């Protein structure tokens, strides 16, 4: 949690980027929920994109915008999103 917050701070506050994207395997619900707690949203799905063992799995495209990060860090429910 501290690392995610530090990365987002670096990306948006220090580097001034507008958007940060990541890819998550669709069956990894815990990682999807983790990113959503910090304000990431699912933007798309790459069907049968990654070969894992002997089957192809979908990959979720997730992203957060700088404005959403600012809202999450300054809004009234900050502690709930960043715990």
Q: Which residue has the tokens 């669709």?
A: 26
C-alpha span between 45 and 14 (Å, rounded): 30
Here the tokens at position 23 are 């890819």
pLDDT per position in the chain (83 positions), as tens? 788 888 999 999 999 999 999 999 999 999 999 999 989 999 999 999 999 999 999 999 999 999 988 776 664 444 444 33
Strand pairing partners for 20?
64
Q: Round to whole Å and give the CA distance between 82 and 2.
A: 9
What's this model's pTM, rounded to 2 decimal places? 0.78
């Amino acid at each position: 949690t501290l690392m995610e917050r530090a990365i987002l701070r670096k990306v948006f506050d220090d580097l001034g980027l507008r958007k940060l994207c990541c890819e998550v395997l669709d069956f990894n619900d815990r990682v999807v929920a983790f990113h959503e707690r910090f304000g990431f949203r699912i933007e798309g799905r790459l069907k049968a994109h990654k070969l894992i063992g002997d089957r192809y799995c979908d990959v979720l495209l997730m992203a957060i915008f700088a404005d959403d990060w600012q809202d999450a860090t300054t809004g009234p429910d900050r502690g709930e999103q960043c715990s």
